[in-house]
Amino acid sequence: MNIQGFTTPHSIEMYRMIVIRGAIKIYLLTGMKANRMYTPGNMVRAVTQKTGKTYKRGKVGMTEAFNDLEQWILDNKTLGSQEVPL
């Protein structure tokens, strides 16, 4: 059995963004926060750090942030010839 770990800064950051993507998706679908720290504002700020783009408040801004984060994840999924496990 081979267990892959997230040992490089790139793979750690990729995992963090994938978790935030899931939390935003839960919030958009149900209105439920994944935990106390994942407020809508904190989630959008984390996406802003990666995309450099600011988003409007509310579900419209969160939907736009979610779509931009999906694209960011797809664009940064590979590191050279090694693909980060998703």
Instruction: Give a yes or no: residue 56 inside a domain.
Output: yes
Containing domain of residue 18, as a range? Answer: 11-77
50, part of any domain: yes
Handedness of CA 10, 80, 83, 69 (dihedral sign): positive
Q: Is the confidence at residue 76, as pLDDT, over 70?
A: yes
Tally of domains within the chain: 1
pLDDT by residue (tens digit) across 33-71? 888 888 999 999 999 999 999 999 889 999 999 999 999
DSSP 42-69: HHHHHHHHHH-----SSHHHHHHHHHHH
